[in-house]
Amino acid sequence: MYDIIVIGAGHAGVEAALAATRLGSKTLLLTINLDSVAMLACNPSIGGTGKGHLVREIDALGGQMGLLADSVTLQSKMLNKAKGPAVHSLRIQADKYQYHDTTKRLLEEEPGLTLRQAEVEALTFKDGRLSGVMARGGLHFEAKSVIIASGTYLRSKVFIGHEVIDIGPAGLKNTKKLSAQLEELGFELMRFKTGTPARIHADSLDYSELTLHPGDEEIVPFSFMNDKLEIDQIDCYLGYSNLTTHQLIQDNIEHSAMYSGNIEGTGARYCPSIEDKITRFADKDRHQFFLEPEGLKTKELYVQGMSSSLPESVQEAFLKTMDGMKAVEVLRPGYAIEYDCINPNQLKLSLESKLVEHLFFAGQVNGSSGYEEAAAQGLMAGINAHRKLQDEEPIVLKRDQAYIGVLIDDLVTKGADEPFRMMTSRCEYRLVLRQDNADIRLTPIGREVGLVSDERWERFQAKQAIREAELQRIETTNLKMDQINPLLESIGETPVNENVSIKNLLKRSKVDYALLGPIDQTRGDIPPEVLSGIEVEVKYKGYIDKQLKQIERFQSLESKLIPEDIDYHSISGLRIEARQKLADRRPENLGQASRISGVNPADLSVLLIYLETKRRV
C-alpha cells in the first residue's frame, strides 16, 4: 500500500517521485526496465534555448535535474550571448551513462521511495475510485494517487526504412495495454512521432575537415547550490552536409519511414529529420551538424542535426559524403519512433485528470517533447499529487511567475497538435522571467511547499542579503568625474560633467562592472551571478517596469476564478462556438479562458458580467 505510484522512471517520473517522497508521501516508482531510469534516449545534452530556463526553475523549486546535470557535465555553453539577457539559455553536454547511474543510485537511496521494475498494464478501481495499478504477472500495487509519466513507451513503434519494429526507445520493451484502458476511460489519445540520428565511432573521423566547437571558458552551473564547476571540458565539432549528401537522400526518399506512409504520428516541427530539411528547405546547399560525445567511457558520438529514419545502408552512405566522415563507422542507426500520448486539454492546471480524480499525467505522455519539459511537469505533478492527499490547494505557477507556468498553461489550455517544445518566444514576460533570477522568483515558493532544504534556504537568504546591499551601494556611491571620463572615452561613450553614481553609469549600454573595476574601490567580494543580475535589472529597468504593468493587468484576469460546475450553455450572449470551447476545456479562471482559441473579447465580457452577477447573488 502506497500513497502515490509513479508509472515511468524517465525525467518526469524521477522528479515526480522524488518530490512526492521528499514531501512525505510513501511512493512507488515503477519502470518497465531499470536500465531506462533517467535515460537520455535522444541527445546527450540538458538545457538549450528556453529549456535552460526550465532546468534552473526546477532547481530553484528544489527539484533534482539541475544538480544532476552539473554532476555529469562534459561541456557547457551559454547560448544566445549575442542577444539580450532574456533569451540567454544554458546548455550542457552530459555523460548520458553517468546521468543514468547517478540518478538510479539516488532513487535507490531515497528514504520512503521504492524503485521497482514492473510493466503496468492497468489502473485499478474500487467502489468507482482509483485504487492502484495492476502490473504484468498479476502484481497489484495499491495507492491513493497515481502519476502516469510513461514517456514514449505507450504502443510505441520504431521505424528504420521500411522496417517497423514493435519496441520502445533505444531498443527497450514498449507497453500496449494501458493505452486501451485510457481510451475506455474517455481519454483522447494522439499519435506523435520523434526521431534520433545515428551514433558513430569517434576514431573514424577526419577532424581536420571539422570545426572545433569548444565550451565556454567560464562555466555557469545549472544549480543555484553550485558556485562554480571546475572540469576538463570535452570538445564538440561542427561540420556540414553538401549537395551530394542531399541528392543521395533525395534519391532514396521513398525508403524513409517518414515518406513511405508507414508513420501515422505527427512529428516535431522544431526538430526535423534530415529528410524533412532537404525537402522543406530545398534552397539550402548545406545543413550543419554537431558531433557531441555521449560519455567519458564510450567512443560513441551523437550526430546532432542528422535525425533520420532512412534504411541503415542509406544512413551510412549519406554520412560518408559529409565533412570529416569519409571513413565513418556507424555504431547505431538513427530511427523514428511513434507513440501514444493524451490530449492535454483533458487535464487541470495542477496536471490532475479532469476525468479520473487522483490521476495525474506528466511528461511526453502530455504531448510535450524534451527531457526538460518532462522534468518540469513531473516536479509539479509530484507536488500536487502529494498536496491532493493532504487536502491542500494545488501549486499552479502562472505565466508571469515561471516558464514552467507557460509550459503547463499552453499544454492544458491550447493543447498540442504536434510535440510541444518550450521556447523563449512562447513567454510574453521573458524579460522578467530570466534564467538568472529563477531563484528569486521561485525559491520562496519551493520553501513554502516544503522542497527547499534548510541549506538551500540559508544560501538563498545570504545571496539576497548581498544583492540588496549591493543595490543600495551602487545607488549611494558616486564615482569622481576625472576618473570616469577616461574610461567613458575609451569605449566611445559621452563624458560626464559631474560625479555620477555607479547605478547611473551602469544604465549606459557599454558600461559594466568590469569596466568600472579599476575605479570602484568599495565593491566587496560579490558572486558574478549577482553582479550580472543587477546589471540586467539596472540597464533594462524601463522595459522591466513595462512588463510588470502588463503583469498587473494579466493578474486581474487570472484572479477571477470560474466555478467547476458552471453551465456555459445557459449563459445568454455567449456565441455558440465559445460555449462549446469553454464547456469542453472548462478553464479554471478568466485568464485561461481568454487563451482558448475561439473565445473572443466579447465572450469574455459576457462571461465576466455573468460571474460578477452570480457573485453578488
DSSP-assigned beta bridge partners for residue 236: 213
Burial class (CB in 10 A: 0-12, 13-18, 19+), 286: middle
- Which of these, 403, 383, 384, lies nearest to 57 by C-alpha position? 403
Q: What is the architecture, at CATH level 2, of domain 560-616?
A: Orthogonal Bundle (1.10)
Distance CA 268, CA 196 (A): 12
Res 553: pLDDT: 84
- DSSP state at residue 323: T
pLDDT < 50 stretches in the chain: none
Amino acid at 407: L
Delimiting residues of CATH 3.50.50.60 domain(s) in the chain: 1-452
First to last CA, the chain: 46
Q: What is the pLDDT of residues 265-324, one digit of tens each?
A: 887 777 889 999 999 999 999 999 999 999 999 999 999 999 999 999 999 999 999 999
The angle, 0 to 180 degrees and rounded to 10, between the axes of the packed helices 96-109 and 11-22 is: 30
Q: What is the DSSP string of 520-576?
A: --S-----HHHHHHHHHHHHTHHHHHHHHHHHHHHHHHHTSB--TT--GGG-TTS-H
Q: What is the pLDDT of residues 448-474, one digit of tens each?
A: 999 999 999 999 999 999 999 999 999
Delimiting residues of CATH 1.10.10.1800 domain(s) in the chain: 454-545
Distance CA 225, CA 206 (A): 40
Instruction: Tell me the CATH number of domain 1-452, given options 3.40.50.720, 3.40.1030.10, 3.50.50.60, 3.90.1150.10.
Output: 3.50.50.60
Delimiting residues of CATH 1.10.150.570 domain(s) in the chain: 560-616
Distance CA 92, CA 80 (A): 14
Alpha helices in 222-270 (DSSP H): 243-251, 257-260
Res 617: pLDDT: 63
Distance CA 443, CA 10 (A): 24
- DSSP state at residue 306: -
189-196/157-160 β-pairing:
unpaired
How wide is the angle at C-alpha 499 spanned by C-alphas 479 and 482, nearest 5°?
A: 75
| Fold exhibited by the domain 454-545 | Arc Repressor Mutant, subunit A (1.10.10)
- DSSP state at residue 519: G
pTM: 0.94
- Which of these, 269, 265, 36, lies nearest to 157 by C-alpha position? 265
Distance CA 434, CA 447 (A): 20
- DSSP state at residue 255: G
Res 556: pLDDT: 85
Res 307: pLDDT: 95
DSSP E strand stretches across 343-445: 359-361
Distance CA 318, CA 310 (A): 10
- Measured in whole angstroms, the distance separating CA 127 from the mean position of its chain's CA atoms is 38
DSSP-assigned beta bridge partners for residue 92: 46, 76
